[in-house]
Chain A
Amino acid sequence: MKPRHKKLAVITAGVAALGFAAVLVLNAFQSNLVFFFSPTQVIAKEAPIGKNFRIGGLVEEGSVNRGEGTTVKFAITDTSETIQIVYTGILPDLFREGKGVVAQGKLDDNGTFVADEVLAKHDENYMPPEAALALEEAAKAQKASLTQ
């Protein structure tokens, strides 16, 4: 191999590596940069209705309804809009009312979202349980003093 051929091969390899990275980036941009849509976006038909997509929000308090087997019905909300979800399968440990989830699936004709995967999305707060309890009680006390 002549030196200039070698150089050419090297440049090609470099360009190929960069191209591969760029393709991955673009691919992520296209379908996954918006990892999930909010209920408001779904109601406004900004989500790809009719195709599989992901929806994210908080599990509405008191909405979780365990049906037969492992079928669960619940609602997720972004505090302005709410979408009903039906899911058959095992929920992640962190699935709780009032906490974040991301569900993947499709809207059916009645506007219910039929999920085939539910992932828990936790926040960036880390603290011991006692601290969490104290915060909760402080919030309750504040609420009580506001309503008086």
Chain B
Amino acid sequence: MAINWYKYASPASFYTLAGKMVPFFAIIAFGLLIAGLYIGFFVAPTDFQQGEAYRIIFIHVPAAWMSMFLYVVMAFWAGIGLAFNTRLSSMMATAIAPTGALFTFLALWTGSLWGKPMWGTWWVWDARLTSELILLFLYIGFMSLQAAIDDPRRADKAGAIIALVGVINIPIIYFSVQWWNTLHQGASVSVTQAPTMAATMLTGMMVMVFASWMYSIAVILKRVRVIILERESHTTWVAELREKGAL
């Protein structure tokens, strides 16, 4: 059986599909969050160097990963929207930005809270911290630019250019700790090497990473539904929903 994927590129059918998916992802996100926090705070052992303070890793690392990953996904959808003029892709990009900005802020904030007791400072202008701060400005720039343009199709195009130009920052963030001397330490978990973390610690962190994924999917789908309704409010299918009292 061939699935007609193009059907779901239409905002009307995607609106219904996303509506069915949101509760599913939300429930998984909630379950993983509880499990991850439990492992992080009660099961994972104390660290030999940092004592209990290292436990902020269970929020810091998932937030930092999501902040970078969501940016790439946002730029991808924005680029597709720009290239093929597909409305839904651009709406996806717009829906991703606030969640990406939230995770970027969380990564910076928890990093600062962690830096003070461990490094002895809230903030330093090293390559890792600076490039992550630029990521926050890119998200905010994308959102404010789109908000400043009344015509949504033109807002999509302008935002797509910022999103695409900013992608260059992602490898800079990721490799900053290898390319330059930084105060921030290197990666504990990477594709090419065995993780340098005790197994329970790693489990807790990965569960939190999956929780963040599920949370992001749920919230972004929910947000894209609202954007679809807003932009399609003049169409007959939205009018029909309104008549049925489904809105």
A88 to B127, CA, bound (A): 27
Q: Given A122-B118, A126-B198, A128-B46, are A35 and B149 neighbors across the interface (CB < 8 Å)?
A: no
Contact with A along B45-72 (1 / 0, CB 8 A): 1111110001001000000000000000
A9: shortest Cβ distance to chain B, in Å?
8
Cα distance A130–B200 in the bound complex, in angstroms:
14
Segment from B77-85, B86-94, B183-191 that makes contact with A: B183-191
Q: B48 is contacted by which of A31, A37, A92, A131 (Cβ under 8 Å)?
A: A131
Q: What total of chain A residues lie within 8 Å of the partner, measured CB to CB?
A: 44
Rounded to whole angstroms, the CA-CA distance of A113 and B145 in the bound complex is 48
CB of B95 within 8 Å of the partner chain: no
Residues of B contacting A128 in the complex (Cβ-Cβ under 8 angstroms): 45-48, 198
- Give the CA-CA distance A133 to B162 in the complex, in Å: 50
Convert B197-215 into 0s and 1s, putting 1 for each residue whose CB lies closer than 8 angstroms to a CB of A.
Answer: 1100100000000000000
The residues of A that contact B35 with a CB separation of less than 8 Å are none
Report chain A residues within 8 Å CB of B48: 127-129, 131-133
Q: A21 at the A/B interface (Cβ < 8 Å)?
A: yes
**Is there contact, CB below 8 Å, between A126 and B127?**
no
| Interface residues of chain A: helix, strand, loop or mixed (majority) | mixed
| A125 in complex: contacting residue of B119, B137, B188, CB < 8 Å | B188
Q: With A and B bound together, what is the CA distance between A25 and B134 in angstroms?
A: 8
In the bound complex, CA of A21 to CA of B131 (Å): 9
Contact mask A96-124 → B, CB, 8 Å, 1/0? 00010010000000000000011111111
Residues of A within 8 A of B21 (CB): none
Q: Is the CB of A14 within 8 A of B50?
A: no
Which residues of chain B come closer than 8 Å to A21, judged between CB atoms?
Answer: 134, 137-138, 141, 166, 169
Minimum distance in angstroms from B230 CB to a CB of chain A? 20
- Residue contact B185 to A124, C-beta cutoff 8 Å: yes
Within 8 A of B (CB), among A76-94: 91-94
Cα–Cα distance between A53 and B232 once the two chains are bound (Å): 57
* Segment 164-187 of B: residues with Cβ below 8 Å from A: 165-166, 169, 172, 180-183, 185-187
Contact B45 A17 (CB under 8 A): no
Shortest Cβ distance from residue B49 to the other chain A in the assembled complex, whole angstroms? 6
> Once the chains are docked, how many angstroms separate the CA of A91 from the CA of B126?
20
Q: Chain B residues with Cβ under 8 A from A11's Cβ?
A: 158
Given pairs A35-B182, A131-B198, 5 additional interface contacts (CB within 8 A): A18-B165, A21-B141, A94-B119, A127-B45, A128-B45
Q: List 15 A-B contacts (CB under 8 A).
A: A10-B145, A14-B158, A24-B133, A35-B124, A35-B180, A37-B181, A92-B119, A99-B49, A119-B119, A119-B124, A120-B120, A122-B119, A126-B188, A127-B198, A128-B46
Nearest 7 pairs of A and B residues by beta carbon = A92-B120, A128-B45, A132-B48, A17-B141, A124-B188, A35-B126, A129-B48
